[in-house]
A = this chain, B = another copy of it.
Amino acid sequence: MSADPNLRREIPDATVARLPEYLRTLSRLAEDGVLSVSSEELAAAVGVRSAQLRKDLSHLGSYGVRGVGYEVETLALEISRALGLTEDWPVAIVGMGNLGHALASYSGFVTKGFRIVGLFDDDPALAGQHVVGVPIRPLADLPACQVADPVSIGVIATPARAAQAVCDSLVAVGVTSILNFAPAVLTVPEGVDVRRVDLSTELQILAFHAQRKSLAAGDGDLRSVVSQ
């Protein structure tokens, strides 16, 4: 057995999915100079129930102090550590169209432990261009790059039809964590994690609330739903 207490502690997937939101809110509080926060305040800022927040944080072994709450910086560090963000995660982006360019320049990608080490696209018009100081190379260069500076996480930002071949290339050089922005379901061998991002999900959730508002407005019962 490993001696790392994080390994032995099981954290439910739903809790893991909320940790980035807690961390984002804590970072904002820290920027504003806030030193400690009650579970009620933090829960309200994130948009979850405080009982849910306390339960989630208890999985990290963080229980706060009665009457004081949580120390903002300490809790942020604990969540960062649980998420693995205190380590170094070399990232490669494949597909340097508009989305790939936007992702390479996205401030949330280059902070928080992620480091872009490779940008790939087979379009000859893009070859040799630099984005955030990293040259765009053809995908055929991936194995050589992998030797020089191994990639931990591959990001697929290609059209759907190219996504599976790109995924196979990433897996072939030993990448076992893949973030897929292409609207395609990928087949991967056991031991490889794929997470798909669908940019329209939040738009659909907004449409739900907009529909409720327009129905409720007919009832004279307009309610505000703010969740950011």
Pick the contact of A177 from B17, B85, B209 — CB < 8 Å?
B209
A191 proximal to B (CB < 8 A): yes
B224/A108 in contact, CB under 8 A? no
Contacts A98-B101, A194-B226, A227-B194 given; indicate if A84 touches B199 (C-beta within 8 A).
no
Of all chain B residues, the one with the shortest Cβ separation from A199 is B106
Question: How many of chain A's residues have a CB under 8 angstroms from any CB in B?
Answer: 83
Q: A204–B24 Cα gap in the complex (Å)?
A: 11
Pick the contact of A191 from B183, B211, B224 — CB < 8 Å?
B224
Distance of A21 from chain B, by nearest CB (Å): 7
B87/A20 in contact, CB under 8 A? no
Binding site for B on A (CB under 8 A): 1-2, 4, 6-7, 11, 13, 16-17, 19-21, 23-24, 28, 82-85, 87, 89, 91, 97-99, 101-103, 105-109, 112-114, 152-153, 155, 160, 176-180, 183, 185-186, 188, 190-213, 215-216, 218-219, 222, 224-228
What would be 22 A-B contacts, judged by CB atoms less than 8 Å apart? A13-B227, A16-B205, A21-B198, A23-B204, A83-B208, A87-B207, A87-B211, A91-B203, A98-B102, A108-B200, A113-B207, A153-B206, A176-B213, A178-B206, A179-B206, A180-B228, A192-B226, A193-B209, A193-B213, A193-B224, A193-B226, A197-B202
